[in-house]
Amino acid sequence: MKVTSPVGEFPFELTGISVVNRRVKVDGAMGAWPSQIELEPRDFVQPVLLRALTPLWLFLALALTARSLARSRTKRNP
């Protein structure tokens, strides 16, 4: 893996994964620096909801646009 940051790209070496206090803890090393990532349950839910809801928002936007266009056409052609 690699980590891209404003100061450059660094290799990330995974050294362990564990669950602590309902959080997924990822241990590793980013270049020469030891690092940890902690993920809470909401960190997993948020991207899933975003992906699931994006098609719904797109559908609603298209449906409302089509409805608006249909209404404007019927007003012009009584």
Each residue's pLDDT tens digit, 16-68: 989 888 888 999 998 788 989 898 887 777 766 667 777 777 777 778 787 77
pLDDT of residue 78: 58
* Strands annotated E in the chain: 2-5, 8-20, 23-30, 33-39
Q: Quote the tokens at residue 57.
A: 């928002």
- pLDDT the model gives residue 49: 67
Please give the DSSP secondary-structure letter assigned to residue 78.
Answer: -
Distance CA(67)–CA(19), nearest Å, equals 49
Residue 23, pLDDT score: 87
**Which residue is it, tokens 């928002």?**
57
pLDDT band at 77 (very low <50, low <70, confident <90, very high): low
The amino acid at 1: M
Three-state DSSP state, 23: strand
What is this structure's pTM?
0.52
